[in-house]
A = this chain, B = another copy of it.
């Protein structure tokens, strides 16, 4: 099969216009700046198949739940990110003929995502149905430095004619979500305004009343000089446009510069939002397009300086990992603790742009290691701010006394998902949220966070576990019944090993957190006790009782943890037995057959060993890996990375690489034939983990950073950056050496293959590869 994109170390390049691939490419070439994002829709009219998408972080719609059979406890709505008014429109008519790539003949076409500089470029040559030929070049970006704004430069050159050209720079507020449960439109018009050469459209969302003001500023240059005629304003309830009419000449380029902005009521009052949009546009115009673009490149340069991974000897791998890092940085910048990371980021409607456990379990390590500490801290604060909602969520399910169950899917802390086996039963998510606190503090040493915020969350989560267990007479142990573990190909099982394990871990960590805060922050401790009504003696006694008496399914003979009660009663097979024609199973087998089979969707027991590897020796990890990996079909994009890291950990280098490959270019090569729906943003962080934690063997413990690198056979060299405490380390692994360079002004103690070293500021040390 032909590759979707050209292989290139720094860019994503498409050299052919394939209308059937347009939805795919709109995902792959999507833009974002952490506050807003857009699919790579064309600026000019496009009558072909397309998914229009322009999303604003934190602006969502509570879409009434659609359900076949209602179960008590289901949420009333699913919060989903809204397709917002489109400001990119540059509508061009030439002698009355609409410029539309679906209707003319595309002679040349190139699309380039410049990942190093953070912009999208498109060049094409088109013959219109009436024989007129034009060439065009379009540059677009969403600004990192001006996060409510973006800019477009659209240059069209008539190749074989003189004549009239009509250019409409518009804002289209009559947009909808394809995934609306009831075909409803989510936006209401408030106020359109035109102030040539600017136009504004204030709209608000139904139900929750988010206000946004979309503003544009237009400039049209003909042969480098401003278009002499003033634009004609078009003003409707949900649509505004600046309509320019120009006389154009053969080979004389017409250049449109369009600045767009979309401030929202997250950051402005509804009354001030129009003015806010005006100010943003003013700043953009005063800088001008070229300076904005150069600032964009500088901002991206700074990101790459702490997050780039270089791979030599494998350009496809190089492109894949840079694409992943680029998309992660487009999706979340960590400067607003109200925002989070949707599984598809800003690249599509699927999963509603909501927050899943993906954030804590898969994305957190990437941001923790490549960004300022406050970025990961803001991810934690997001959950801290949702604590009250998590407690309410637990109350809805019958828990009490301040127990919290964090939602499976959420926008504002309330549960949105409505599938009982997941919504009510996939409770292990609570564990990942506690684990992220632990991981953050272990990595950063920011113990203060535990006192200020972490402890409250941990107590609430532990209270949940303490109510969720029950004592089994036959086992004479505590059990956890009726759960779905990370492996969603099992539902409503008893004693999922991962869930029981993470529950006990949460209780233990909470006990140690209590000890720490009580001793080190006694005043704050009293506040937390007061605020949460914590009955320390009684509650901790119960927790200890559970910790000491939890049941963990284990098979003595095989020496492996059992995924859940009864797992070994299944017919035991391995994925290698499966006919490739029936893969993926979830597209070929009925649900009951999947549930009955031994096949595992994603890491489950192994997910626990990954999180808590310090508790288990290598032999145990290897035995469980040997048992579970052949049974795992990895039908979640979040799965192979975890197995890859563990494979590297136990010395299965070839297996680690194979598993890494399964998601390294998931979207670029569209393995799953679903890139049209959007990119797998959260799984991209898994690929980063497979390299840094897997191949690089990076770990952090007791204030120190460890490396135990290996290098895949196919690669000549690779390097990555990690920020650790105050330092920035560049780790380069070649076939011979491991080179650790301290790129900061702060010394740091490192351990490479268990050899401890002090790395002073700017110092580099070299170790032979083992």
Q: Residues on A close to B: CB < 8 A?
A: 65-69, 71-73, 396-398, 418-421, 424-425, 470-475, 479, 481-482, 491-494, 565-566, 568-572, 586-596
A68 vs B591: C-alpha distance in the bound complex, in angstroms? 15
7 A–B contact pairs at CB < 8 A? Answer: A68-B68, A69-B419, A73-B592, A481-B569, A481-B596, A492-B493, A494-B569
Note all chain B residues with C-beta closer than 8 A to A397: 590, 592-593
CB contacts (< 8 Å) of A421 on chain B: these are: 492
Complex CA–CA separation, A565 to B570 (angstroms): 13
List the B side residues contacting A591 at CB < 8 Å.
71-73, 420, 424
Q: Which residues of B contact A494 (CB under 8 A)?
A: 566, 569
Expressed in whole angstroms, the minimum distance between the Cβ of A569 and any Cβ of chain B is: 4
Task: Please list the 7 inter-chain residue pairs (A to B) with the smallest Cβ-Cβ separation, ordered nearest first.
Answer: A73-B590, A424-B592, A71-B591, A472-B569, A67-B68, A397-B590, A482-B596
A480 vs chain B, min Cβ distance (A): 9
Q: Which of B419, B491, B493, B586 is in CB contact (< 8 Å) with A72? A: B586
Minimum CB distance partner of A68 in chain B: B67
B595 touches A482 (CB 8 A): yes
Contact partner of A569 (CB less than 8 A), chosen from B479, B570, B593, is B479
Residue of B473, B492, B566 near A565 (CB, 8 A) is B566
A473 to B558, CA, bound (A): 13
The smallest C-beta distance from A394 to any residue of chain B, in angstroms, reads 10
In the bound complex, CA of A154 to CA of B172 (Å): 61
Which of B396, B475, B492, B565 has a CB less than 8 Å from the CB of A595? B492
In the complex, what residues of B have CB within 8 A of residue A493's CB?
A: 492
Cα distance, A571 to B594, chains bound together (Å)? 29
| A590 CB contacts on chain B under 8 angstroms | 71-73, 396-398, 424
A73-B592, A397-B593 known; 5 new pairs, CB 8 Å cut-off, are A72-B590, A471-B571, A472-B569, A473-B572, A482-B596
Q: Nearest CB to that of A494 among chain B residues?
A: B566
Interfacial chain B residues near A470, Cβ < 8 Å: 569-571, 596
Given contacts A67-B68, A571-B471, contact A589 B398 (CB under 8 A): yes
A68 touches B71 (CB 8 A): no
Closest to A69 in B: B419
Query: Are B592 and A425 in contact (CB-based, < 8 A)?
Result: yes
Q: Is the CB of A474 within 8 A of B73?
A: no
Contact at A68–B398, with CB atoms within 8 Å?
Answer: no
- How far does the Cβ of A75 sit from chain B's closest Cβ, in whole Å? 11
The contact of A475 among B420, B569, B586, by CB within 8 Å, is B569
Chain B nearest CB from A494 CB (Å) reads: 5
A568 to B481, CA, bound (A): 11
Give A593's nearest chain B residue, CB to CB: B398
Nearest chain-B residue to A566 (Cβ)? B494
A515 to chain B, nearest CB (A): 31
CA distance A572 to B589 in the complex (A): 36
Q: Which residues in B have their C-beta under 8 angstroms from that of A420? A: 591-592
> In whole angstroms, how far apart are the Cα atoms of A500 and B594 in the complex?
20
In the complex, the chain B residue whose C-beta lies closest to that of A582 is B398
Q: How far is the CB of A127 from chain B (nearest CB, A)?
A: 43
Chain B residue at smallest Cβ distance from A592: B424
Residues on B with beta carbons closer than 8 Å to the beta carbon of A569: 470, 472-475, 479, 481, 494
In this complex, the member of A424, A482, A586, A588 whose beta carbon has the largest number of chain B beta carbons within 10 angstroms is A482
Contacts of A565 in B (CB 8 A): 565-566
Most buried by B among A425, A586, A592: A592
- Bound together, the chains give a CA A423 to CA B654 distance in angstroms of 43
Complex Cα gap A325–B640 (Å): 62
Most chain-B Cβ atoms within 10 A of its Cβ — which of A67, A418, A481, A589? Answer: A481
Which chain B residues border A471 with CB–CB below 8 Å? Answer: 571
Q: Which residue of B lies closest to A586 (CB)?
A: B72
- Which residues from B are CB-within-8-Å of A481? 566, 569-570, 596
A473-B568 contact in complex given A66-B66, A592-B482, C-beta closer than 8 Å = yes
Cα–Cα, bound, A392→B675 (Å): 33
Closest to A481 in B: B596
A95 CA to B660 CA, complexed, in Å:
85
Alpha-carbon distance between A570 and B470 when the two chains are bound, in angstroms: 7
A72 touches B482 (CB 8 A): no
Query: What separation, in Å, do the CA atoms of A396 and B570 have in the docked complex?
Result: 21
Given A472-B569, A565-B566, decide whether A72 and B418 contact each other with a Cβ distance below 8 A. no
A279 to chain B, nearest CB (A): 43
* B587 and A72 contacting across the interface, CB-CB below 8 Å: yes
Q: Which residue of B lies closest to A587 (CB)?
A: B72
